[in-house]
């Protein structure tokens, strides 16, 4: 019998065209997650010239409408992204559920000394619905892009709205793989 977990892994692997590497955080809020939860790491491949880290089981066995999984891109393998996505999954399951267009306070730099200490949960514009929609048992689960942002960019979203934030990203050509990028809000 195929489970949510095996179907979701199949969804990701079909999209990226390569097997992912299952990774688990060895510390932190893992006891509050679905017992089969893990992160899939995809190396640079024909589909994307970057690493991708995806949650597997963030919304497993949820019975409400908050059915999402998250992924984040990286220029290279980054162990810290396993912790980042695991903490987001724990918050989703045990705090207030996360959803599209939400922002998340990471509480520390995204990577290294990055100014980005928040995340914006976005539609997967680079990948479309082929990655962004996972169908399981007649339900659609959103696989959303976790974009690291700065507090000023988060404040801009709150003040001006999601659409204006996305226009800002486009107009200023957001360098979403660069942890050292400057804030886009002047």
Mean pLDDT by 10 residues, the chain (186 residues): 89 96 85 91 91 96 89 95 94 90 94 94 92 94 97 98 96 95 94
Residue 76: predicted pLDDT: 94
CB within 8 Å of 15: residues ≥ 6 apart: 47, 127, 130, 131
Q: Where are the beta strands (DSSP E) in 64-138?
A: 68-74, 103-105, 118-122, 133-136
CB within 8 Å of 76: residues ≥ 6 apart: 51
CA distance 156 to 164: 8
**β-sheet bridge partners, residue 141:** 134
How many Cα neighbours within 13 Å face the side chain of 153? 29
H or E element at residue 153:
helix 151-160
| Dihedrals phi, psi of 38, to nearest 5 degrees | -160, 175
CA distance 115 to 87: 19
Residue 29: predicted pLDDT: 66
Residue 1: predicted pLDDT: 53
pTM recorded for the entire structure = 0.95
Residue 64: predicted pLDDT: 82
CB within 8 Å of 79: residues ≥ 6 apart: none
Residue 26: predicted pLDDT: 84
């Amino acid at each position: 019998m195929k489970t949510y977990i095996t179907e979701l892994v199949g969804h990701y692997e079909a999209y990226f065209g390569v097997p992912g590497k299952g990774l688990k955080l060895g510390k932190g809020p893992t006891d509050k997650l679905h017992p089969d939860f893990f992160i899939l790491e995809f190396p640079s491949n024909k589909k994307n010239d970057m690493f991708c880290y995806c949650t597997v089981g963030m919304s497993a066995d949820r019975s409400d409408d908050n059915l999402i999984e998250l992924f984040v891109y990286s220029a290279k393998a980054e162990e810290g992204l396993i912790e980042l996505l695991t903490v987001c999954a724990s918050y989703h399951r045990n705090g207030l559920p996360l959803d599209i267009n939400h922002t998340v306070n990471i509480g520390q730099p995204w990577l290294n000394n990055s100014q980005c200490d928040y995340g914006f949960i976005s539609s997967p514009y680079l990948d479309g619905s082929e990655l962004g929609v996972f169908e399981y048992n007649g339900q659609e689960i959103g696989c959303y892009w976790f974009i690291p942002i700065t507090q000023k960019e988060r404040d801009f979203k709150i003040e001006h709205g999601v659409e204006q934030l996305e226009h800002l990203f486009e107009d200023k050509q957001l360098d979403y793989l660069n942890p050292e990028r400057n804030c886009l809000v002047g």
